[in-house]
Amino acid sequence: MNVIDLHNPQRINRTPDRIEVLFSSGNFVEHGFSVNKVELRLYLEKSDAKLGPYSLITSFVETDHGSVEMIYDEGYRGEDSLHRTAQFITSNLGMSGLILRSIITLRDRIEKQSS
pLDDT tens for 4-41 read 998 999 999 999 999 999 999 877 888 889 999 999 99
pLDDT over 90 at 69, yes or no: yes
CA-wise closest residue to 31 among 106, 113, 93, 95: 106
Burial of 82 (0-12, 13-18, 19+ CB in 10 A): buried
| Phi, psi dihedrals of residue 68, rounded to the nearest 5° | -135, 130
Of residues 108 and 1, more confidently modeled: 108
Rounded to whole angstroms, how far apart are CA atoms 64 and 96?
Answer: 17
Within a domain: 94: yes
Rounded to whole angstroms, how far apart are CA atoms 23 and 34?
Answer: 12
Within a domain: 115: no
pLDDT attached to residue 29: 86
pLDDT attached to residue 30: 84
pLDDT attached to residue 93: 74
pLDDT attached to residue 70: 96
pLDDT over 80 at 73, yes or no: yes
- C-alpha angle with apex 14: 71 to 107, nearest 5 degrees? 40
Work out how many domains the chain is built from and give that number.
1
Residue-number span of the structural domain to which 64 is assigned: 2-109
pLDDT attached to residue 39: 96
21 touches 39 (CB < 8 A): yes
pLDDT attached to residue 31: 87
Average pLDDT, the chain: 92
DSSP 8-state secondary structure symbol assigned to residue 51: T
